[in-house]
Amino acid sequence: MNLKKILPIFLSMFICFSVAAQEVDDDKIEKLIEEIEDLREELDDLKEKVKEDAAKIDTLKVKEEAKNNEATEGEKKKKGDGKVILLSYVNFNCTSTAGDTKVAFGLGRTYMGYEYKFNNGIRIKAVIDFGKPSAIEDYNYLAYIKNAFVGWTRKGFTINGGMIQTTQSALQEKLWAKRYIMMVFHDQYKFGSSADLGFSMEYKFADWVKGDFMMVNGEGYKKLQKNKGLLYALGFTFNPIEELYIRLYADLNNSGLSGESNIYGYSALAAYKSDKFTISGEFNMMQNYKNAKGDNKLGCSVYGSAKAHKLINVYARYDFITSNDKWDINNDKQMIMAGFEIIPCKYVKLSPNFRMEIPRAGGPNNYMGYLSCYFGL
């Protein structure tokens, strides 16, 4: 065979095979590229799915935690809620009268007790009060049952029975909120007691008005005399706007004995209390003081406080107490107080304060400096 004829044929065949092979390689590359793109899309889809699954897992965790919290709260409500009561009032004081100065440490009161609230509205409370029975010169301390009662609240109605907190000055206690410094007017000047044996009822007629009734021994929690009459009290508290309080109160302390007059008590209060400041004024009157006919006492108390800092409050108070016909002139006086309150934590309160007493009978004024301390749970 002629070589010149065969060679072009081989060359043509080689070129055809080369072109075909090149086309095959290009097809493979294109397929590989398409497969890679598909894998990328699948990977992106997988990433999105993982994110969705993670979000679902987080949502399930939140729901599970909320469910557990609800179960815990429900269990807590089912069982009720209790707290330990432990309070102690301590002070350092300096008193000066006509150049005679006395300096002393004092342990005012100590309260120990327990309070428990059930989920059905029932509440029990027991508190023991340790304190001095008489003057500061008396070194003896006695223990009294301050509270020992059962209460029940439902749909705006509340009833308490036992050694209860009296309704006479309950609102004043909340507004003044500084019993460790000085008691409210009723307690300070013996117009009534903060606790007594008996029962009280309260009903909320509307959001802006509620009424209360109380029937107790009338002798306080330090001496319980069953051979005398009872004390009956009626009061109304008005709250026309959220931060304004108006209260009217009257009571009758039946002597129960011939030759002794019944005691009548009256009280009126108006106060404004907000998060930043509180101001309150009250008028009080007692007829036939200590069952003595015609011996009347009356007085007023004005006090206010303001938040100077998140840990500091400033306050001032003015008291006026007098008797008709000057029968108790030795105890008639004016009292002026000013100070500030430091609250480093909820368990401790410290209050440097200055007081001045102006006696109605004349004579020298009394000047007192106090560092009052509160420790409690």
Half-sphere exposure of 191 (CA within 13 A, CB side): 30
Rounded CA separation 178/352 (Å):
12
Task: Quote the pLDDT of residue 61.
Answer: 81
Rounded CA separation 299/323 (Å):
9
Question: Considering the entire predicted model, what is its pTM?
Answer: 0.77
State the average pLDDT over residues 285-303.
95
DSSP element (H, E) containing 123: strand 122-131
Task: Quote the pLDDT of residue 252.
Answer: 96
Residue 108 has pLDDT above 90, yes or no: no
Residue 257 has pLDDT above 90, yes or no: no
Residue 142 tokens read as 């006695």
Rounded CA separation 258/142 (Å):
33
Task: Quote the pLDDT of residue 17.
Answer: 53
Residue 127 has pLDDT above 80, yes or no: yes
Q: For residue 167, what are the CA distances in angstroms to 70, 235, 366? A: 36, 8, 32
3-state secondary structure of 227: coil
Task: Quote the pLDDT of residue 151.
Answer: 97
Residue 209 has pLDDT above 80, yes or no: yes
3-state secondary structure of 289: helix
Task: Quote the pLDDT of residue 46.
Answer: 82
Rounded CA separation 331/99 (Å):
21
Nearest to 315 by CA among 353, 264, 357, 361: 353
Distance from the Cα of residue 189 to its chain's centroid: 26
3-state secondary structure of 331: helix
Residue 18 has pLDDT above 70, yes or no: no
Residue 4 has pLDDT above 60, yes or no: no
State the average pLDDT over residues 213-218.
95
Residue 350 tokens read as 């410290």
Per the prediction, the chain carries an average pLDDT of 87
Distance from the Cα of residue 60 to its chain's centroid: 37
> What tens digit of pLDDT does each residue of 311-349 get?
999 999 999 999 999 999 999 999 999 999 999 999 999
Rounded CA separation 316/327 (Å):
29
| Residues in Cβ contact with 377 at an 8 Å cutoff, skipping those fewer than 6 apart | 83, 84, 85, 86, 87, 347
Residue 135 has pLDDT above 50, yes or no: no
Residue 207 has pLDDT above 90, yes or no: yes
Is residue 344 within 8 Å of 63, Cβ to Cβ?
no
Residue 152 has pLDDT above 90, yes or no: yes
Task: Quote the pLDDT of residue 14.
Answer: 57
| Residues in Cβ contact with 206 at an 8 Å cutoff, skipping those fewer than 6 apart | none
Q: Which burial class, exposed, middle or buried, applies to 125 when counting CB atoms under 10 A from its CB (0-12, 13-18, 19+)? A: buried
> What tens digit of pLDDT does each residue of 225-250 get?
666 789 999 999 999 999 999 999 99
> What tens digit of pLDDT does each residue of 361-375 get?
988 999 999 999 999
Residue 261 has pLDDT above 50, yes or no: yes
Task: Quote the pLDDT of residue 117.
Answer: 94
Rounded CA separation 272/242 (Å):
9
Diameter of the chain by CA atoms?
164
> What tens digit of pLDDT does each residue of 161-194 get?
999 999 999 999 999 999 999 999 999 999 999 9
Rounded CA separation 199/6 (Å):
131
Task: Quote the pLDDT of residue 78.
Answer: 61
Say what percent of the chain tops pLDDT 90. 62
Task: Quote the pLDDT of residue 136.
Answer: 47
- Does domain 80-376 fall into CATH 2.40.320.10? no
Q: For residue 46, what are the CA distances in angstroms to 49, 53, 199, 357? A: 5, 10, 72, 84
